[in-house]
Chain A
Amino acid sequence: MAILQLRDVSKSYGQGARRVEALREVTLDVERGEVVALEGPSGSGKTTLLALAGALLTPTSGEIRVDGDDITRYGARARTRYRRDRVGFVFQGSNMVPFLTARENLLLVADFGDADRPALRRRADELLDQLGLTAVRDQIATSLSGGERQRVAIARALMRDPALLLVDEPTASLNLELGTRVVDALLGEVHQRDKACIMVTHDDRMARRADRLVGIRDGRVLTDTPLR
């Protein structure tokens, strides 16, 4: 069974003449071990799809299932727990807590409840090592380079070992070499640990490294191309 299933999902903003249809009856499955790149022009609905899968938004209609659970029925607390435990977000521009060190940014999730702190500390050190960040683990986030920040963001998203990664423009502020390293780190984690990932990107070179390329225009899925 696909880890993420979207069935006839629509999302609109505003009302009356100002109503905007961001997504229109989108149906999409994402399997474990699969990286799906979402590409499309600005305003096509990519970020809305990501936000819906991450329970940051609720759809106007349709059904979103993660591991069989319909997350559109979740209340506020359940959505918070879902984001904390089952989804890993990597935002554009990394979005670190600026006054924390790289390691503290990872350990932040331990403060959000239900945490085995010693295990999370071990996990943080392990991820920092895997992503080549051990040397900068005690540096304040604002003093890290763009690539380091983005890798810390990936590490943070993986802290609770979520099955689903939602990644928004991970290479937007990076040069090609750094961008490739960041995306490769992400792909490695998904393939090795049997996770699933949806990655929004404008960069065709990065999109081509994914397992599938889904093209969105005007809120509709127009193309769905396997790349592997």
Chain B
Amino acid sequence: MLALTEIRRRKLQFGFVTGVVALIAYLIIMVTGLGLGLYDAAGTALLNLNGDHLAYAANSNLSVIRSRLTEADVAEVRALPAADRATPIGYVAAVVEYAPGETDTAAIIGVVPGAFSEPAVVEGGPLGGPADILIDRTWARLGDTRVGDTLALPIGFQTRDFTVAGIVDQGYFFFQPAMYVDIAAWRELNFPGDPAQRPAASLVLLQGRDLDGLRGEGWRIVTKEDGFNNIEGVQAQQSTVDALRYMGLLIGAMVIGVFFYVITLQKVSLLGILKAIGAPGLYLVVQGLLQVLIVCVIGAALAVGLALLTKATVLSSGAIPITFTNGAMTVSSISVVIAGVVGSLLSARQVASVDPIIAMQQQ
């Protein structure tokens, strides 16, 4: 097979092109991983809630931060016939002291202990009282926090100690590891002043059908996915990452296309000779595309290996929100291969249009 033999015999030339393809594919895999990581960090804890709809305050513009529901709002939502189950949840960002003088921020989510909003623990036990806290495994890993440890959360100018009752696997919310406390404790954390002025919840988590779009005087219901997409910055962030990815694919297609176009131009006389001695144009086009395919597949495979190596070394601390999934890496790799083949169509056209008379004009 002419295509394979040429690759085998011209290792330096094709190795160089493969290296460039690998770097482009690596960039696209990393950008895709960053997009997934940021997506996760933006609010997997919200998406992982055991419900399908969320009720927001009517004047919150679907912002979890601004949404404050009264007891009456919560009761009204709970009484909706379409709601099979409903439970209030609260959100506040807090600086958590996990060791003397060592602090970090976390997303504190208030839930009713025992309600369907309380996440399942992967280690330890559920919330047992107002001083218990469930922490996400990302926090447990970063802060080396274990079940039974104490975390100090601020209430006004004071702090209150919470005991880690269990570890959950819910992810992030607003780019902070999620922690779960009794919603009564959340009210104190979020509104340390007059108890009478405290809102009942940030949101109401619902299970049921035909809830999307329902509104009351002080609340409105949307799907959980709509709620996620309205988290501040999520849309802009994902659009930016998508733009970077598509730009990478476009640049990849152009670079691979130009490389193979130059290689094709260098071989025009040879292609003319091959056609003159009876090589069909389709045979030569197939050989060219086969070379592109081989180079792109090897380049993409190298990029996957490089990405996994990066994950195991540079990114092992988890400080950079990059997530690799098999699906994302497969899609990114296939995208690079397709971009390469599309980019090389110009070369294929060039190959097809070579006139065999060139063979007679080589003198």
* Contact in complex: A104, B5 (CB < 8 Å): yes
* Contact in complex: A51, B357 (CB < 8 Å): yes
On chain A, the residues within 8 Å of B5 by CB distance are 99-100, 104
A99 to B362 alpha-carbon distance, docked (Å): 18
B275 contacts partner chain A, Cβ-Cβ < 8 Å:
yes
On chain B, the residues within 8 Å of A157 by CB distance are 277
* Contact in complex: A169, B363 (CB < 8 Å): yes
Contact with A along B263-294 (1 / 0, CB 8 A): 00000011001111111110100000000000
* Contact in complex: A91, B362 (CB < 8 Å): yes
* Contact in complex: A83, B356 (CB < 8 Å): yes
A97 contacts partner chain B, Cβ-Cβ < 8 Å:
yes
* Contact in complex: A89, B280 (CB < 8 Å): no
Q: Using A97-B270, A99-B5 as known contacts, say yes or no to A83 and B276 having CB atoms under 8 A apart.
A: yes
A111 contacts partner chain B, Cβ-Cβ < 8 Å:
yes
A40 contacts partner chain B, Cβ-Cβ < 8 Å:
no
A89 to B275 alpha-carbon distance, docked (Å): 11
For A114, give the chain B residue with the smallest CB separation: B278
On chain A, the residues within 8 Å of B356 by CB distance are 56, 83
For B358, give the chain A residue with the smallest CB separation: A56
Size of interface on B: residues with Cβ below 8 Å to A: 24
A93 contacts partner chain B, Cβ-Cβ < 8 Å:
yes
* Contact in complex: B276, A89 (CB < 8 Å): yes
Q: Using A80-B278, A83-B278, A111-B2 as known contacts, say yes or no to A140 and B360 having CB atoms under 8 A apart.
A: no
Partner of A99, one of B6, B274, B280: B6
A99 to B263 alpha-carbon distance, docked (Å): 14
Contact with B along A96-125 (1 / 0, CB 8 A): 011110001000110111000000000000
The A-contacting residues of B in range 1-49, CB under 8 angstroms, are 1-2, 5-6, 9-10
A157 to B136 alpha-carbon distance, docked (Å): 75
B334 contacts partner chain A, Cβ-Cβ < 8 Å:
no
Q: Using A99-B5, A104-B5, A113-B283 as known contacts, say yes or no to A92 and B362 having CB atoms under 8 A apart.
A: yes
For B269, give the chain A residue with the smallest CB separation: A95
On chain B, the residues within 8 Å of A108 by CB distance are 2, 274, 277, 279
On chain A, the residues within 8 Å of B359 by CB distance are 56, 89, 91, 95
Partner of B273, one of A80, A91, A113: A91
A83 to B359 alpha-carbon distance, docked (Å): 13
Give the most central of B273, B276, B362: most A CB within 10 Å: B276
A95 to B358 alpha-carbon distance, docked (Å): 11
Q: How far is the CB of B256 from chain A (nearest CB, A)?
A: 21
Q: Using A99-B5, A99-B9, A104-B5 as known contacts, say yes or no to A112 and B279 having CB atoms under 8 A apart.
A: yes
The B-contacting residues of A in range 31-53, CB under 8 angstroms, are 47, 50-51
On chain B, the residues within 8 Å of A83 by CB distance are 275-278, 356
Q: How far is the CB of A125 from chain B (nearest CB, A)?
A: 19
| B contacts with A: majority SS | helix
A149 contacts partner chain B, Cβ-Cβ < 8 Å:
no
On chain A, the residues within 8 Å of B270 by CB distance are 95, 97-98
For A85, give the chain B residue with the smallest CB separation: B278
Q: Using A57-B357, A111-B1 as known contacts, say yes or no to A80 and B362 having CB atoms under 8 A apart.
A: no
On chain B, the residues within 8 Å of A97 by CB distance are 2, 270, 273-274
* Contact in complex: A93, B278 (CB < 8 Å): no
For B1, give the chain A residue with the smallest CB separation: A111
* Contact in complex: A112, B280 (CB < 8 Å): yes
The A-contacting residues of B in range 153-175, CB under 8 angstroms, are none
The B-contacting residues of A in range 148-170, CB under 8 angstroms, are 156-157, 168-169
A157 to B360 alpha-carbon distance, docked (Å): 15
A183 to B155 alpha-carbon distance, docked (Å): 102
* Contact in complex: A89, B277 (CB < 8 Å): yes
A147 contacts partner chain B, Cβ-Cβ < 8 Å:
no
* Contact in complex: B363, A56 (CB < 8 Å): no
A sample of 15 inter-chain contacts (CB < 8 A) reads A56-B359, A80-B278, A84-B278, A85-B278, A89-B276, A91-B360, A93-B362, A95-B270, A99-B5, A99-B6, A99-B9, A104-B5, A111-B2, A156-B277, A172-B363
Q: A85-B278, A111-B1 are in contact. List 4 more A-B contacts (CB 8 A).
A: A92-B362, A95-B359, A95-B362, A111-B283
Residues of B within 8 A of A (CB): 1-2, 5-6, 9-10, 269-270, 273-281, 283, 356-357, 359-360, 362-363
Residues of A within 8 A of B (CB): 47, 50-51, 54, 56-57, 77, 80-81, 83-85, 89, 91-93, 95, 97-100, 104, 108-109, 111-113, 140, 156-157, 168-169, 172
